[in-house]
């Protein structure tokens, strides 16, 4: 059994981790840690776990003890927190999967710029592996520290990875129009996600300044072998979960839709969680509560643009599910273990 600990177990992502790992036959939930509500029974806070996860929540002061007793430690914490907690001694005792942003960017100056604070542990950035299995599977298997990708970044990079690596991209003018459910903002109170603010409403936010932008550019540049620039705009839609990203990119003259479909099917044909759709555009309800990413490939012959549409559940493939996928890889077990391949139908 893989003994796991979860720091930040009471947040939306933490709850999803508990739910998935509780159903994982190869896992024992060893330690559940949080900032507040210490000493309370987990199932008393979240009754859906009654009779299944009844252990008491521990404080963050027990993180060191958890790192000594657990094989894998998940950090579902706000940015700027994990990097102050992870250290070489911890990495010598356990494997760490950080679901926050602290280890995603390789350049500490980029972190300073986009997160408006100095990186707490720049010496650890080179040790972290970016945890997108469909791109860095072999590196993840050997990692001690995994930087779980952001939700928007996951949907966008998966949508663009085959196009960028194929040599069929004609220009660097890539536009991403992405929309997310409210859970992407986290569980903390915020006026912008109050019911009266977001219901019956649609709005763009962090225009030209969204923090997933440098993460997307970093990974696509590494994939393509040259600098890639992305114009990324995020929107908040009045639903609880899900991401739909529509990406526009100029392709070389003469490239047809069938050419691109063949590239994408070749890349993702053996991937357990990425599905290239034929003739239909993805919908968020098709991937809800699953670790799947659905992708549709289109070419607008009039404009010469590829239009790639991707859909994921931001809390699963965009967070907890992908983290478990990474855990399976670093622990040397079946990559799909504990992860349902089917979505929960929503009518």
Tokens standing for 227?
Answer: 């600098």
Query: Would you state the pLDDT for residue 38?
Result: 93
The boundaries of every CATH 3.30.360.10 domain in the chain are 152-314
Domain 152-314 carries which CATH code?
3.30.360.10
Residue 302 has pLDDT above 60, yes or no: yes
**Quick check: 138 and 90 in contact, CB under 8 A?**
no
Query: Would you state the pLDDT for residue 191?
Result: 67
**Quick check: 147 and 129 in contact, CB under 8 A?**
yes
pLDDT bucket at 343, cuts 50 / 70 / 90: low
The boundaries of every CATH 3.40.50.720 domain in the chain are 2-149+317-330
Pairing of strands 293-300, 274-277: parallel
Task: Identify the CA nearest to 291 among candidates 310, 261, 317.
Answer: 317
Q: What is the mean pLDDT of residues 133-140?
A: 98
Residue 346 has pLDDT above 70, yes or no: no
Query: Would you state the pLDDT for residue 183?
Result: 78
Q: What would the pLDDT profile of 68-99 be if each residue is shown by its tens digit?
A: 999 999 999 998 999 999 999 999 999 999 99
Return the higher-pLDDT residue of 196 and 172. 172
Q: What is the mean pLDDT of residues 290-309?
A: 96
Task: Identify the CA nearest to 251 among candidates 343, 166, 148.
Answer: 166
Could you say which of 151, 198, 293, 331 is catalytic? 151
Residue 341 has pLDDT above 70, yes or no: no
Q: What is the mean pLDDT of residues 312-328?
A: 98
pLDDT bucket at 243, cuts 50 / 70 / 90: very high
Query: Would you state the pLDDT for residue 189?
Result: 58
pTM of the model as a whole: 0.95
Return the higher-pLDDT residue of 189 and 8. 8
Question: Max CA-CA distance within the chain?
Answer: 64
Residue 9 has pLDDT above 90, yes or no: yes
Query: Would you state the pLDDT for residue 79?
Result: 87
Name which CATH class applies to 2-149+317-330. Answer: alpha beta
Q: What percent of the chain has pLDDT over 90?
A: 87
Return the higher-pLDDT residue of 189 and 72. 72
CA distances from 343 to 286, 287, 296, 308, 324 (A): 6, 5, 17, 21, 17
Q: What is the mean pLDDT of residues 311-327?
A: 98
151 is catalytic: yes
Integer Cα distance of 249 and 164 in angstroms: 10
Query: Would you state the pLDDT for residue 200?
Result: 86
Integer Cα distance of 325 and 143 in angstroms: 13
Q: What would the pLDDT profile of 43-53 be if each residue is shown by its tens digit?
A: 999 999 999 99
Least confident piece of the model among 29-38, 147-156, 160-169, 176-185: 176-185
Backbone angles phi, psi at 40, to 5 degrees: -85, 155
SS3 for the chain is CEEEEEECCCCHHHHHHHHHHHCCCCEEEEEEEECCCCCCEHHHHCHHHCCCCCCECEEHHHHHHHHHHCCEEEECCCCCCHHHHCCHHHHHHCEEEECCCCCCCCCHHHHHHHHCCCCCCHHHHHHEEECCHHHHHHHHHCCCEEECCCHHHHHHHHHHHHHHHHCCEEEEEEEEEEEECHHHHCCCCCHHHCHHHHCCCCEEECCCCCCCHHHHHHHHHHHHCCCCCEEEEEEECCCCCCEEEEEEEEECCCCCHHHHHHHHHHHHCCCCCEEEECCCCCCHHHCCCCCCEEEEEEEECCCCEEEEEEEECCCHHHHHHHHHHHHHHHCCCCCCCCCCCCCCCCC
Q: What would the pLDDT profile of 137-174 be if each residue is shown by its tens digit?
A: 999 999 999 999 999 999 999 999 999 999 999 878 89
Residue with token string 């993460």: 215
Return the higher-pLDDT residue of 197 and 345. 197
């Amino acid at each position: 059994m893989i003994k796991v600990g979860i720091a930040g177990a009471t947040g939306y992502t933490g709850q999803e981790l508990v739910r998935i790992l509780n159903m994982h036959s190869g896992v024992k939930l060893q330690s559940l840690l949080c900032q507040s509500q210490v000493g309370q029974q987990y199932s008393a806070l979240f009754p859906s776990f009654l009779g299944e996860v009844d252990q008491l929540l521990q404080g963050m002061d027990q993180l060191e003890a958890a790192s000594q007793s657990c094989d894998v430690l998940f950090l579902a914490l706000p940015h700027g927190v994990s990097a102050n907690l992870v250290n070489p001694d911890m990495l010598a005792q356990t494997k760490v999967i950080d679901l926050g942003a602290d280890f995603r960017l390789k350049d500490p100056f980029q972190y300073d710029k986009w997160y408006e604070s100095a990186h707490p542990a720049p010496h650890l950035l080179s040790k972290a592996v970016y945890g997108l299995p469909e791109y860095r599977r072999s590196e993840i298997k050997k990692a001690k520290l995994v930087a779980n990708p952001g939700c928007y970044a996951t949907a966008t990079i998966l949508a663009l990875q085959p196009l960028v690596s194929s040599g069929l991209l004609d220009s660097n003018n890539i536009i991403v129009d992405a929309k997310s459910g409210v859970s992407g903002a986290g569980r903390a109170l915020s006026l912008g996600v109050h019911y009266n603010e977001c219901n019956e409403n649609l709005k763009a936010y962090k225009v030209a300044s969204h923090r997933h932008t440098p993460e997307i550019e970093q990974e696509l540049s590494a994939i393509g072998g040259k600098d890639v620039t992305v114009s990324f705009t995020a929107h908040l839609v009045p639903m609880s979960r899900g991401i739909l990203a529509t990406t526009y990119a100029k392709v070389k003259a003469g490239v047809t839709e069938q050419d691109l479909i063949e590239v994408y099917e070749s890349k993702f044909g053996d991937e357990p969680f990425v599905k290239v759709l034929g003739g239909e555009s993805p919908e968020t309800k098709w991937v809800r509560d699953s670790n799947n990413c659905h992708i549709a490939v289109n070419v607008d012959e009039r404009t010469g643009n590829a239009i790639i549409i991707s859909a994921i559940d931001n809390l699963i493939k965009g967070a907890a599910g992908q983290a478990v996928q990474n855990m399976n890889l670093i622990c040397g077990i079946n990559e799909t273990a504990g992860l349902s391949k089917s979505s929960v139908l929503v009518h």
